[in-house]
Amino acid sequence: MVSKVFFIDGGDYTGNSEKCFRLISEKFSGSVALKTHFGEEKNTTHINPEWITSLGTYFKNPVFVDCNVLYRGMRTRRTDHVELAKRHGFGFLPIDILDGEMGEEELEVPVNLGTTKNARLGAGIERYGNWVALTHFKGHIATGFGGCIKNVGMGLGSRAGKLDMHSVVSPVVRQEKCVACGKCVADCPADAISINGKAKIDSDKCIGCAHCIAVCPNSAIDIPWEMLDNTNNALMERICEYAYAALRGRKWWFMNYMVNITYDCDCMNIAQKPFMKDVGIVLSEDIVAADQASYDLISEVVGYDPFKKKFGVDGAYQLEYGEKIGLGSRKYVLERL
Q: Does 223 bind ligand SF4 (CB under 6 A)?
A: no
Q: What is the SS3 assignment for the chain?
A: CCEEEEEECCCCHHHHHHHHHHHHHCCCCCEEEEECCCCCCCCCCCCCHHHHCCHHHHCEEEEEEECCCCCCCCCCCHHHHHHHHHHCCCCCCCEEECCCCCCCCEEEEEEEECCEEEEEEEHHHHHCCEEEEEEECEEECCCEEECHHHHHHCCCECHHHHHHHHCCCCCEECCCCCCCCCHHHHHCCCCCEEEECEEEECCCCCCCCCHHHHHCCCCCEECCHHHHHHHHHHHHHHHHHHHHHHHCCCEEEEEEEECCCCCCCCCCCCCCCCCCCCCEEEEECCHHHHHHHHHHHHHHHHCCCHHHHHHCCCCHHHHHHHHHCCCCCCCEEEEEC
Q: Does 206 bind ligand SF4 (CB under 6 A)?
A: yes
Using the rule CB under 6 A, give the single segment among 212-220, 252-260, 268-276, 316-324 that binds ligand SF4.
212-220
Interface characters, 43-82, with ligand SF4 (x: CB under 6 A): ----------------------------------------
Number of amino acids touching ligand SF4 (CB under 6 A): 28
Question: Of residues 199, 279, 282, 289, which one binds ligand SF4 by CB under 6 A?
Answer: 199
Question: Of residues 5, 69, 148, 192, which one binds ligand SF4 by CB under 6 A?
Answer: 192
Interface characters, 146-185, with ligand SF4 (x: CB under 6 A): ------------------------xx-x----xxxxxxx-
Q: State the nearest-atom distance from the C-beta of 231 to ligand SF4, in Å.
A: 12
Question: Of residues 62, 139, 146, 208, which one binds ligand SF4 by CB under 6 A?
Answer: 208
Using the rule CB under 6 A, give the single segment among 193-201, 225-233, 258-266, 315-323 that binds ligand SF4.
193-201
- Give the residue with the Cβ less far from ligand SF4, 168 or 316: 168
- Give the residue with the Cβ less far from ligand SF4, 148 or 192: 192
- Give the residue with the Cβ less far from ligand SF4, 112 or 219: 219
Q: Does 193 bind ligand SF4 (CB under 6 A)?
A: yes
What sign has the CA pseudo-torsion 198, 270, 254, 60? positive
- Give the residue with the Cβ less far from ligand SF4, 97 or 220: 220
Contacting residues toward ligand SF4, per CB under 6 A: 170-171, 173, 178-184, 188-190, 192-193, 199, 201, 206-212, 216, 218, 220-221
